[in-house]
Amino acid sequence: MPEPQSAPEARARALALLQQLLDSLDQEFEALKRRDLGYFERLQPTKDQLLEQLSVWQSEPDSAAATFVQDVECREWLLRCRDAHRRNETLLQRHLEAVRGALQALSAGTPLQGVEIYDRLGQMRGRGARRGIAEA
């Protein structure tokens, strides 16, 4: 458990963590814009570690850090981080929707699905003319 800090030290540490978190979120956004999911995944442990540090450190009841949420500048940084996270979430959701749409288009029937065609032996092959292995 870290030793108690004075209010100015706690505030400085909180601001430093929040700035690092915002930098991480900005890097995450750039990775999402480039669709570089490998880099995006590599950023996650750093972001998770910063969030863990903020949550554990802020929740200590005897620490001056517990009051950092009341600080105006810290609150502004928290709001920036929240907005950056929401921006990233929106972009990620759009990418997921695009992938789902592409998968749906690929898995939907082909334009020739209802058309009967001839196979290599000259036999009609349509949806009804196809036989499975068990029927052959």
Beta carbons of 63 and 55 less than 8 angstroms apart = no
The CA distances from residue 18 to 107, 119, 120, in Å, are: 44, 65, 67
Calculate mean pLDDT across residues 98-120.
Answer: 71
Alpha carbon distance 136, 115 (integer Å): 22
Rounded to a whole number of angstroms, the distance between the first and last alpha carbons of the chain is 72
16-72: pLDDT as tens digits: 999 999 999 999 999 999 999 899 999 999 999 999 988 876 666 655 555 666 778
Domains and CATH numbers, the chain: 7-108 (1.20.58.300)
pLDDT at 84 over 60: yes
pTM (2 d.p.): 0.68
